[in-house]
Structure 1
Amino acid sequence: MNTNAKISGIITILALLVIVIIIAAIALTQNTSNDVQNSDEAFPSAIRKDTHRLTTAENEEVVVVEFLDFECESCGAAHPYVEDLRERYGDRVTFALRYFPLPGHFNSKNAAVAAEAAAQQGELEAMYNRLFSTQLEWGEASESHAPLFRTFAEDLGLDMDQYDEAVADPETLERVESDFNDGRQLGVESTPTFFVNDTKVELRSFEDLEAAIRAELQ
């Protein structure tokens, strides 16, 4: 074999090696990207882009997320306290809610679907307040109170055709269940469960929530 042939063979081998290295690098990059994506899915943030904000601070440096069940008595007890915190800190703190209907509550999922249907018409907060203010009327029941929730929607002046369509739409329930599934992955087991800047608050009393907020504001 002459010198030119040897050089040509070496060049060919080197070219093949470069191609192999490039292919391996691309595969590694894709695997890393998939790992990151899977990690994000396995450990979601307490708040997502589509999470419902009750108040939105300008820079969202402090974010409070409540996983709640509208039928839960403890959530009902927490509601006025949360409203007080929103009034006092709402200009500096984002307050958000996520649905976590507990399986043991017959109407908790119906209530969450009603809230989500109202949210689609920009009336989440009104329905949220109405459900908690009437909790004693329908909580702990063993029959569906979806018709009652529909009257709440009428009282709020919602477009009832749109409301009925939203309630019947499987995507509305899926939206509720996506919050629930995220909560499970975040370790939520009961309601209300609060996160302040993605850190779960160990709630021995409602004052612990304000203390966590103040610590982040300092």
Structure 2
Amino acid sequence: MKKHLFIAAVLVAAFAAALGSFLLFRPDSPSGTLDAEPAAQAMLVRESSHRLSRPERSELTVVEFLDFECEACGAVYPVVERLRERYGDRVTFVARYFPMPGHRNGELAARAAEAAAQQGKFEQMYSKLFTTQAQWGEAKESKEAVFRGFAEELGLDMALFDKALKDPATAERVRADQRDGLGLGVQGTPTLFMDGERVTPGSYEEFKALIDERLSRP
């Protein structure tokens, strides 16, 4: 996988510890990454943000800025899934888009997830994109046909999916997450925040320990 202009990933116990790198957002970027400026009033979570868990009484919020084509994000995905299974009734897990330069299909994958979200299938597409990343990641050609295939497998209305995928409003929704990320100092993926504080756990056990410590606070 390419490692220029994005984080270096070190896999420790199936988890990637991310080191941020600077981003260049250009309208003419061959990677398809959107041109984005930092949000003037950046927010970690907005009403429109995609919540992977919705506990009745949330005690903690974990936010991940991610790129579906990022190898390190792919390594973090099963860790987050384990944590969601364990803490989903107490912790709100939030996924936010942050496609990186150099990834031909990263921004397109984000739009595919957002198009699925418009039909109530964000989580299913989120999981599909990560579990199949090895099949489509780092391709030099567009993988739109592959993502359409995923949408069909999920039983989406394909006319609505195709319309949403090409709708400028869908691209703007992705760009809005990027703007917040840039405003919060995000420079690479995955970048994780726990109740507003950036965290860099090196393994599932370290992440679990961080959550346990926060949840034990009075």
TM-score in same-fold range (> 0.5): yes
Residues of 1 paired with 2:47 and 2:163: CA distance?
Answer: 24
**Pairing 1:46–2:47 present:** no
Q: Retained in 2: the 8 A contact 1:43–1:186?
A: no
**Pairing 1:153–2:144 present:** no
- Could you tell me which residue of structure 2 aligns to residue 129 of structure 1? 127
- Could you tell me which residue of structure 2 aligns to residue 196 of structure 1? 194
Q: Retained in 2: the 8 A contact 1:57–1:91?
A: yes
Secondary structure at the aligned position of 2:109 is classed as helix
Give a deviation string over 1:62-112, Cα, whole Å, max 9, x none: 111111100001111111111000000000001110000001111000100
Secondary structure at the aligned position of 1:42 is classed as coil
In structure 2, give the amino acid aligned to 1:83: E
CA positional deviation for 1:117: 0.2
> What is the TM-score with the length of structure 1 in the denominator?
0.78
The number of residue pairs the alignment matches comes to 178
In structure 2, give the amino acid aligned to 1:181: R
Residues of 2 paired with 1:171 and 1:50: CA distance?
Answer: 13
Secondary structure at the aligned position of 2:52 is classed as strand
- Give the number of the structure whose alpha-carbon radius of gyration is greater: 1
**Pairing 1:116–2:109 present:** no
Hey, which of these two has a bigger chunk of helix by percent? Answer: 1
Higher RCO structure (Cα 8 Å, ≥6 apart)? 2
Residues of 2 paired with 1:74 and 1:143: CA distance?
Answer: 21
Residues of 1 paired with 2:106 and 2:81: CA distance?
Answer: 21
Secondary structure at the aligned position of 1:98 is classed as strand
CA positional deviation for 1:207: 3.5
Q: Retained in 2: the 8 A contact 1:116–1:172?
A: yes
In structure 2, give the amino acid aligned to 1:202: T
- Could you tell me which residue of structure 2 aligns to residue 162 of structure 1? 160
Residues of 2 paired with 1:193 and 1:203: CA distance?
Answer: 11
Q: Which runs of 5+ in 2 are unaligned?
A: 1-38
In structure 2, give the amino acid aligned to 1:166: A
Residues of 2 paired with 1:207 and 1:180: CA distance?
Answer: 29
Taking only aligned residues, the RMSD between alpha carbons, in angstroms, comes to 1.2
- Could you tell me which residue of structure 1 aligns to residue 31 of structure 2? none
Residues of 2 paired with 1:215 and 1:106: CA distance?
Answer: 39
Q: Which runs of 5+ in 1 are unaligned?
A: 1-40
Hey, which of these two has a bigger chunk of strand by percent? Answer: 2
Q: Which runs of 4+ in 1 moved over 2 A?
A: 41-45, 202-212
In structure 2, give the amino acid aligned to 1:142: K
Residues of 1 paired with 2:109 and 2:138: CA distance?
Answer: 12
- Could you tell me which residue of structure 2 aligns to residue 181 of structure 1? 179
Q: Retained in 1: the 8 A contact 2:100–2:106?
A: yes
Q: Retained in 1: the 8 A contact 2:109–2:147?
A: yes
Residues of 2 paired with 1:209 and 1:189: CA distance?
Answer: 21
Residues of 1 paired with 2:189 and 2:207: CA distance?
Answer: 14
CA positional deviation for 1:204: 3.5
CA positional deviation for 1:45: 2.5
Could you say if the C-alpha distance between residues 48 and 173 of structure 1 is closer, same or farther in structure 2, counting changes exceeding 3 Å?
Answer: same
Task: Give the share of equivalent positions with the same residue, in percent.
Answer: 56
